[in-house]
Structure 1
Amino acid sequence: MTTTTSPVPENIPENAPEHVPEPGGPADDGPPGGPPAARPVRLIHTESTTEIPVHLLFRDAPEPEPVRLRPAVVARRADADGKAPQGRGTGERPRPAVPRIEPELVERPARVLPGVAGVLAGVCGAAGCVATSWWAGVLPPPVAEVFGPVARAGAAGPGPAQWAAYAGAGALGLFGFGGLARGRTGRAWVLGLFGRYRGTVRRTGLMWVNPLLLRRRVDVRLRHWRGEPMRAADRSGVALRVAVLVVWRVRDTARATLSVEDHEAYLRACVEAALVRVPVAAPGAGKGAVEAAQDALTRLVAADTAPVGVEVFAVRPVRVEYAPEVAAAMHRRRIAALDAQHRASVLGSVVDSVEDTVTRLTVRGLVELDDYERKVLVKDLTVAFCAGRGDTGP
């Protein structure tokens, strides 16, 4: 018996599936002169070959996250600073742009010298002028004899050198004496040169300030302001006239002087705007409502005045009254409410008195009353007590 084997290709991988000849199936044509090659057997008789689109092979892959655009303000700031903005790569969220305050609008101490330096400079300048006059020979003879012999006796007058000495000594004296200033407690100087802020002086005592600088005096003490009656409204929308007391002070002299034209007028405008937005406690309201209105007014005015360097401590309504157009109607309404309250209190006291009287009479056995007699007695006592209260008054 002879066994025939089919030739095995050389370039077949080891893990390639083996082809099992289908039993009873037709055989392919083999090499000439040899047995026919076996056709591979289908494991699933209904199998078919289809093409799978390439994009379906990657359906489970995560989609790329959308690129978030940074705000324009943050981008400009990052470009100006030369740094990349904080984003997803650093693990932090980009922060919103915050308006920066220019260095010129923030209070900083100015450069000043002690007053002794100005006095010395002024004295030196005056002494230089006297020495130049002696040098030029223009001093009177009695005065010149005090300083010694005249250097240029018989001179016609000061020459160019003497005039130059006069100019230097005079400028030194003017700068020395002209820059002297006195600082007082609770006052500050805001200095400026050619429209530019140069600093604030809060020192006290004698000091020397550059005389070329423009000085603006600012009061930094704790101050209070009581305004005229302003328009306001209560929670019901009734028109009111309110006079407020504002306790405040200047905290940043640079902003208070340079950021607004008049910080006191700005404070008044902020108080008027706050009274329009915050309901004020009506006359006769409780203590809690009054304190709540004060706190709301203080917070609102303090927030509005903080950017201009003004610090507000309290905004207290000191006088609250109804507007003239509603004063008469509200007065009648208040009187009616008081009258109703008085009547309710009187009626309550009368009922208590009648009940006490009837109870005492029946408990002590002074009278025996049935239901009808009890009602009649209660009615008579009520009329009598009400008439007595009406005659004697409350």
Structure 2
Amino acid sequence: MNKLEKAPLTVGPQGGVSPATGVASVERRAFGLPGVPAVLLWLVLAVVTLWLLVAGQFVWGILAGILALFALAGFFIVQPNQAKVLTLFGRYVGTERRNGFYWTNPFTVRRNVSLRIRNFNSERLKVNDQMGNPIEIAAVIVWRVVDTARAVFDVEDYEEFVEIQSETALRHLAAQYPYDEYEGHGFSLRGNPDEVAEALGRELATRLRHAGVEVLEARLSHLAYSPEIAGAMLQRQQASAIIAARQQIVQGAVGMVEMALRELSEQGIVQLDEERKAQMVSNLLVVLTSERGTQPVVNAGSLY
């Protein structure tokens, strides 16, 4: 009888397992005979049983019949992207991942574990970001079971474990980043979705690997300010956008004025003293930075 392979581990701060106390299961291949040859052998046993009964050897015939019925319980089928976890009298004896028809010890208890890729869409969580602002956040986690022994034996319910650890990781992630970075010097939840998704995936991989779960992808599916501050934050975003736009307009206008004065001077079109240059700069800036179209005043007299 195969023994369950274990390594000493302890529960760590990220919800995982680390060396010291506790155990971690290790998946191994289960014993299983191909189903078709086993069926042929079973048919031979059934024919022998009938022959013994017909020949009048009822004791041997009944024993052979009981053995045939007992052997019949050893047949099982493994569907695509599924696995059978086998235990014998409370001991883990292996996992059968190969698709098809097999026979094994009839005394084993077989549990189905799906190896298919799954999605977990978390609830909208109300948390505080790095700046203390209340926000609503949710994520989509794409995962699958890669170690059936850990998934079945190391956690009570691996699906519930994925849900709880995903929400915990999401709360922890939201507290590490601000919703928006107005200075533009760091990462933010809204401004750096790829970096945030990568950080979430790394934390989930750390939390879930001890349950035999692999995280394929993790991305935010919802991100917004909480309703009580959404209006104020929207005004702040609008103000920031207006300031940024006006800064760009002013920088462009100054460049155009500088270019105009330089061209006038280099081509000798007109000579302006410092006072007229200042007046021209003022007029051009008004024209270029005004939100509305300006009405020019035509001077029909002399320049001065």
Change (3 A) 1:385 1:298: closer
Q: 2:67 aligns with which of 172, 183, 188?
A: 172
**1:282 has 2:204 as partner:** no
Query: Which one scores higher on RCO, CA 8 angstroms, separation ≥ 6?
Result: 2
1:198 aligns with 2:84: no
Aligned residue type for 1:305: L
User: Is 1:360–2:257 an aligned residue pair?
Assistant: no
Write out per-residue CA displacement over residues 30-58 of structure 1, whole angstroms, 9 at most, x where no aligned residue.
xxxxxxxxxxxxxxxxxxxxxxxxxxxxx
Report Cα offsets for 1:20-77 as digits up to 9, x if no partner. Answer: xxxxxxxxxxxxxxxxxxxxxxxxxxxxxxxxxxxxxxxxxxxxxxxxxxxxxxxxxx
Partners of 1:281 and 1:201 in 2: how far apart? 47
Q: Is the Cα contact below 8 Å between 1:180 and 1:206 reproduced in 2?
A: yes
Aligned residue number for residue 212 of structure 1: 107
| Paired residue type of 2:115 | V
1:294 paired with 2:219, answer no
**SS of the counterpart of 1:211?**
coil
Distance 1:280 1:180 in 2: 54
The answer to whether 1:380 aligns with 2:275 is: no
- The residue number in structure 2 matching 1:115 is 35
How much has 1:129 moved relative to structure 2?
Answer: 4.5
> In 1, distance between residues paired with 2:262 and 2:78?
83
Q: Per-residue displacement from partner, 1:267-304 (whole Å, max 9, x unpaired)?
A: 12112111222224636867995444334323322222
Q: Which structure dedicates a bigger proportion of its chain to strand?
A: 2
Compared with structure 1, are the counterparts of its residues 297 and 386 closer, same or farther at alpha carbon in structure 2 (3 Å cutoff)? closer
Q: Identify the match of residue 232 of structure 2 among 306, 318, 329.
A: 329
CA contact (8 A) 1:249 1:312 kept: yes
Q: Which residue of 2 aligns with 1:343?
A: 246
Match of 2:83 in 1: 188
Task: State the alpha-carbon separation in 2 of the partners of residues 174 and 371 from structure 1.
Answer: 111
2:241 maps to 1:241: no
**CA separation in 1, counterparts of 2:126 and 2:166?**
11
SS of residue paired to 1:110: coil
**SS of residue in 2 equivalent to 1:390:** coil
Correspondence list, 1:1-394, <5 A: 98-99=20-21, 101=23, 105-135=25-55, 162=58, 164-278=59-173, 279-280=176-177, 282=179, 289-387=192-290, 389-391=291-293
SS in 2 for 1:99: strand
Asked if 2 retains the 8 angstrom alpha-carbon contact of 1:187 and 1:217, the reply is yes
Partner amino acid for 1:341?
A: A
Matched residues in 2 for 1:132 and 1:283: separation? 83
Question: What is the number of equivalent residue pairs in this alignment?
Answer: 268
Determine helix, strand or coil for the equivalent of 1:383: helix
**In 2: Cα distance, 1:126 partner to 1:283 partner:** 74
Deviates more, 1:345-354 or 1:164-173: 164-173
Task: Measure how far apart 1:257 and its partner are.
Answer: 0.8
Structure 2 unaligned segments of length 5 or more: list them.
1-18, 182-186, 295-304
Q: Give the alignment's Cα RMSD to 1 decimal.
A: 3.1
2:21 partner SS: coil
Bigger Rg, structure 1 or 2: 1
Output the amino acid matched with 2:84: W
**Match of 1:126, SS?**
helix
One-letter code of the match for 1:350?
Answer: A
TM-score, normalised to structure 1's length?
A: 0.59
Whole-Å Cα distance in 1 between the matches of residues 214 and 256 of structure 2?
A: 59
Partner of 1:39: none
1:223 Cα deviation (Å)?
4.3
Aligned-residue offset at 1:325: 3.0
- Which deviates more, 358-367 or 328-337? 358-367
Give secondary structure in 1 for the equivalent of 2:29.
coil
Give the Cα–Cα distance (whole angstroms) in 2 for the partners of residues 313 and 123 of structure 1: 46
Write the letter of the residue equivalent to 2:167: E
Shift of 1:233: 4.2
The alpha-carbon deviation at position 118 of structure 1 amounts to: 2.9
Structure 1 gap segments, 5+ residues each? 1-96, 137-160
Return closer, same or farther for 1:281/1:208 CA change in 2, 3 Å cut-off: farther
In 1: Cα distance, 2:162 partner to 2:38 partner? 38
Query: Match of 1:257, SS?
Result: helix
How far apart, CA to CA, are the structure 2 residues paired with 1:351 and 1:359? Answer: 12
Which amino acid in 2 is paired with 1:208?
W
